Structure 1
């Protein structure tokens, strides 16, 4: 089974909310399944965003999901869709780089091409809610999944701390995103 097939199977099995089918159809019309997860930091290769989303799902479910009290649909939505904002976010361009022989050559690299600069987590929430309503806990988890790495946190806002105190899924998604990024994913393919 390919990563895309696994993603779609997991999505369809666990997400039954009205609008979920339209959201998935929209995702398939974008580069979500082929985009990198970053330009050079983690999963910076074709399909890296898909791999990263599945990695976050796997960490979140294996380490933080309690079937007795947690909602599998919410955990699936938060993990698989937390970086939806990266669909249509990257482009490929050529840059000069020295090869093994010390000669300059043009190589393709990923670069950011943000056509809708709305913020990271909030952009994912916005895109999801164009098709499907989120529960408050899901929106908070997706919005704050970057934790202190989010630019809006710098400067002394207590919103992150309040979100983490009130919504355990937000903490669990942040921890899963960190683990997937720094412990399970390489900088490139």
Structure 2
């Protein structure tokens, strides 16, 4: 099963609220979500890296934190869509790199950022999701703050992240799953996959 097929299977199995079908149609037909990288140079900096990362976050979140009484739908939404802001965000291109063995300059594939809608990171994902379907408060907060201390607002001394994590355990869980996927599961995935 490909990453795209697994993503679609999990989404269709667990996300059933009104508008989910329209969101999925938009993802498949109007965005590069399933081809896009997860970053320009770090984790998942390869074609399909965004989908791969979203699945890794889903598995880390579900395998580590899911307990009886938790919502399968909320876990799927938060993990699979937390980085929706990266759809239609990266532009493929090339750059010149010197081959140390031959001394020759070679063109290698690369990605650059082309942010057509500069609205932040987590908040942009929440905004895009809610164009199609309603998020529960804890889902919106979890997606908004999934970057934790790496978020610009948190680095600027924002206390909202502390309140968010205190009130909504799903936000803490999503942040930890995102870190686990990025730094433990995807280490070294920038060139392959």
Q: Which structure 2 residues correspond to residues 1-189 of structure 1 after superposition, within 5 A?
A: 1-29=1-29, 30-66=31-67, 68-99=68-99, 100-185=101-186, 186-188=188-190, 189=192
Q: C-alpha displacement at 1:47, in angstroms?
A: 0.4
C-alpha distance in 1 between matches for 2:156 and 2:2: 43
Which segments of 5 or more consecutive residues in structure 1 lack a partner in the other structure? none
Q: C-alpha displacement at 1:101, in angstroms?
A: 1.0
Q: C-alpha displacement at 1:187, in angstroms?
A: 4.2
Give me the TM-score of the superposition, normalised by structure 2.
0.95
Q: C-alpha displacement at 1:140, in angstroms?
A: 0.3
C-alpha distance in 2 between matches for 1:84 and 1:60: 17
DSSP-derived class of the 1:79 partner: helix
Q: C-alpha displacement at 1:104, in angstroms?
A: 1.2
C-alpha distance in 2 between matches for 1:82 and 1:155: 22
Q: Deviations over 1:123-177 (max 9, x none)?
A: 0000000000000000000000000001111221100000000000000000000
> Are the aligned partners of 1:40 and 1:187 in contact in 2 as well (CA < 8 Å)?
no
DSSP-derived class of the 2:91 partner: strand
CA RMSD of aligned residues (A): 0.8
C-alpha distance in 1 between matches for 2:84 and 2:95: 27
Which segments of 5 or more consecutive residues in structure 2 lack a partner in the other structure? none
DSSP-derived class of the 2:117 partner: coil
Aligned length: 188
DSSP-derived class of the 2:24 partner: helix
